[in-house]
Amino acid sequence: MRSPELNDDFFAAMESSIVDVDEAQMLPPSCYADPAFFEFEKEAVFAREWLCVGRESWIPEPGDYFTAEQIGERVIVVRQQDGSIRALSAVCQHRAMLVAEGRGKTRHFLCPYHHWAYGLDGTLTGAPAMERACDFDMSRHSLPAIRVEVWLGFVFINFDPDAVPLSPRLSAVTEVLKNYHVETAEESAYPGEPSKEYWNWKVRFENSNDGYHANRLHAGPVHNIVPSALASFPDLPSDTAGYFRYNQTLHMDASFNPTLKAVLPVFPGLTPDERHRMLFINVPPTLFIVGRSETLTYNIFFVHGPEAMSSQRGWMVPPGVSELPLFKERLQMNVDGSKPIFEQDRHVDEQVQIGLRSRYANRGRYSWQEKSQQEFNRWLVERYRSHWANLQRGRQAPFSQTSRSRGS
C-alpha cells in the first residue's frame, strides 16, 4: 500500500463512496492503514467531534471519577459537589505527569510526582515550594477543561470549544430509543478496562454497522433468527449525528442464546413491532448500541492509532430485573450466546486489517444490505473535506497547536 498524497484529487475521489449505495464503493484502503492519513483524521474528526468516553452511572457520587483516553489524550471525568459532571485533562500543568489513573473517588487530584493539587473542578489549589517562582499565578495553571455533554446517560467529550451541541442532532436516535426508557434502565457493573484491539477504528465501526455479513459469517441457528434480508434503513435528517437500522426477526422477542428467545423480562414500553425486530444504532465515531426486547448492549470505542484501539462493552435491562431470581445466570446466557459471534467479528477485523495493507486492496462495491456503510462514509467525507478545505485556506490550526494555546 502506498501512502496517499493528500490533495484535492484524493478527496474528490471520495465522491464515489457517498453516492447511492447501489453505485457506491468503499473508501480508499489507505484511509484505514496509513499513519499519515490517521494524523489528518485525528484533526478532521477526533479533535472536533463528540467522543463517547463512558456512562454517567460510573460516577454516581461527588468525587467519583474515571479516566479515558482518546487519540492519546488522557481525560478525567468527575462528578462535582453540585452533582454536575466535568471533563478535565489528566495532565499536570507542572511537568506533564498524569494526575489520575483508572477510576476511584477523591476530594482532589494530587500529582504523585511533585504534589501539585487540583480541586474537582481542575483549579490548582496547591503547589509546594513555588513561592520563589517569578510571576507564578496559580490561577493560570488549572487543569484544562474539556467540553462535556451527557446524552441518555452516555458521557461525551469534545476537544473543540466551539463544537455544535450533540443532543439536538440525535433527536431521531433519541426517538427510536424512547420506549426503552434508557434513563431509568438498570446497568451492568462497570465493565472494567477496555479490551485492546489492533485494527483501524473504522474497520471495527463498519463491522458493527454491517448487517450484510450477519447470516454469512455468523450462519447458524442463533444468528439466523435475524435475517440480513430483513434489514431496513429509515430516512434520517441530513444533520443527524447518529444512524440506525432495523432488522426484523423471525419471531417476537428473539435473542442470542440457546433458547433463541428472551430469557429476561422485556422492556415494558416496547410495541409489538419493536419486539419483533432488533435495533442497531451508530453514533460515530465512538458509540455503537444494539437493542433487543430484553437488553440494550453498548460498545464504546477508544481510538489510539492508525491500527490501535480499545473498546468497552456494557448491558442495560429494564428496571428491577437485576433483583429477580437467576438474573445473573440468565444474563450470562445472553453473554455466552453472543461470545462466538463476537469472536468471529474480532477475527474478521484482524484479517481485514491485514488485507487493507495489501497493494491488491480494492475499493469494493456495496450490497444494498450495507447502506449503513454508505451513511457512515457520508458522515466521514463531509468532515474530511471540511477540514481539508480549511487547511487549504489556512483557517484551522492543527489540534496540537490549538491545545497548546488554550493551555498556555
DSSP string, 112-175: TTT--EE-TT--EEE-TT-TTSTT--GGG-PPPEEEEEEETTEEEEES-TTPPPSGGGGHHHHH
- Residue pair 355/228 in contact (Cβ under 8 Å)? The answer is no
Q: Which three cell numbers stand for residue 95?
A: 511537568
Average pLDDT over residues 371-399: 88
Contact 18, 24 (CB under 8 A): yes
Report the C-alpha gap between 378 and 122 in whole angstroms.
Answer: 37
What mean pLDDT do residues 19-25 have?
97
- pTM beyond 0.75, yes or no: yes
Residue at 163: amino acid letter: A
- Closest alpha carbon to 150 in 189, 182, 190: 182
Question: Which parts of 29-144 fold into alpha helices (H)?
Answer: 30-33, 35-41
The values of phi and psi at residue 170, to 5°, are: -110, 20
User: ∠ CA(233), CA(241), CA(342), 5° rounding?
Assistant: 65
Residues 289-327: pLDDT tens digits? 999 999 999 999 999 999 999 999 999 999 999 999 999
Q: How far apart are CA 232 and CA 273, in angstroms?
A: 13
**Range 15-25 average pLDDT:** 97
Residue 15 has pLDDT above 60, yes or no: yes
Domains and CATH numbers, the chain: 1-47+170-408 (3.90.380.10), 51-158 (2.102.10.10)
Is the pLDDT at 402 greater than 50, yes or no?
A: no
CA distances (Å), origin 29, targets 20, 293, 357: 20, 37, 7
User: How distant, in Å, are the alpha carbons of 56, 140, 235, 406 from that of 78?
Assistant: 10, 21, 37, 21
Tens of pLDDT, residue by residue over 179-224, are 999 989 999 877 778 899 999 999 999 999 899 999 899 999 988 9
| All residues at 6 or more sequence positions from 131 whose CB lies less than 8 Å from its CB, including other chains | none
Mean pLDDT of 223-243: 94
C-alpha cell at 220: 447458524
Q: Give the model's confidence band at 130: pLDDT under 50 very low, under 70 low, under 90 confident, else very high.
A: very high
Note the pLDDT of residue 1: 61
pLDDT of residue 169: 97
Bigger pLDDT: 183 vs 109:
109
329 pLDDT more than 90: yes
